[in-house]
Structure 1
């Protein structure tokens, strides 16, 4: 049974909406704050593979819908969780809201996924903000679970 619970993380990024939106669909930019490798740019109807080489992990991302500078709707991985990225123009920049939902887990498994998603997407937004606003790759994803 699919849960009606969703995770939400958000961040104001002090850059124009077009620049922030491009950072999420173009892997040449996204690899500076999130995954390390991608099979291509996000385009509606495509399935892209993202890799985190430092962890030996990868995930298939199915792009369900793109509304330029407004919305990216995706479906992720083995459990087919949905992840939506919303972009809202604000006076001081762009508000990015990431929502993850459609969990099939229950009990402690659901709590673990909620915790991982909340922390993970918050880290992504923090890294994006640092990179787009200051040109700094903080290596947050790499350093979140250091091997030694």
Structure 2
């Protein structure tokens, strides 16, 4: 019997009670994103950008290549090991004038089945935390610090 290789998709989603423009800008503009996700970015999420992100709390970094941007609708980027990066897609779907459904998916995981499942699990938890933090910031002006507090030293 031949076993098929896992090809999972990690996903997280959240209704954000703000216009699509605001939800989109929260990820596109590093002055906003750094208030709920990473601590530093070398620039904005624009097509063709090659960015460097930092999470100072963890001493972690990521290099990011922005592949596609559709104003207020979509941001697609690659990150991780550039020999085999994963692809993240952020979709912003208006539900009303003041509500946006934000969906995050990540694909392209490699490794053993156990490694892949652990990576997907960590990704779903991480992006769920990011979306909750974004929601608190955009809807209530609260900086939760949930990402830096997710795995305290």
TM over 0.5: yes
Offset, 1:82: 0.4
Q: In the aligned structure 2, how far is the partner of 1:72 from the partner of 1:106?
A: 29
Question: Residue 27 of structure 2 aligns with which residue?
Answer: 24
5+ residue gaps, structure 2, are: none
CA contact (8 A) 1:9 1:121 kept: yes
Q: How does 1:104-119 map to 2 (within 5 A)?
A: 104-119=110-125
Question: Residue 90 of structure 1 aligns with which residue?
Answer: 95
- Tell me the C-alpha RMSD between the 2 structures: 1.4
Question: Residue 126 of structure 2 aligns with which residue?
Answer: 120
5+ residue gaps, structure 1, are: none
Q: In the aligned structure 2, how far is the partner of 1:87 from the partner of 1:4?
A: 24
Offset, 1:111: 1.1
CA contact (8 A) 2:89 2:105 kept: yes
CA contact (8 A) 1:3 1:102 kept: no
Q: In the aligned structure 2, how far is the partner of 1:105 from the partner of 1:127?
A: 30
Question: Residue 67 of structure 2 aligns with which residue?
Answer: 64
Deviations 1:91-144 (A, max 9, x none): 250000000001112211011101110000000000000000000000001110
**2:149 counterpart (136, 143, 146):** 143
Deviations 1:29-48 (A, max 9, x none): 00110000000111101111
Deviations 1:24-79 (A, max 9, x none): 00000001100000001111011111100010000011000000011101001114
**2:17 counterpart (14, 18, 25):** 14
CA contact (8 A) 2:6 2:113 kept: no
Count of residues in Structure 1 that have an aligned counterpart in Structure 2: 147
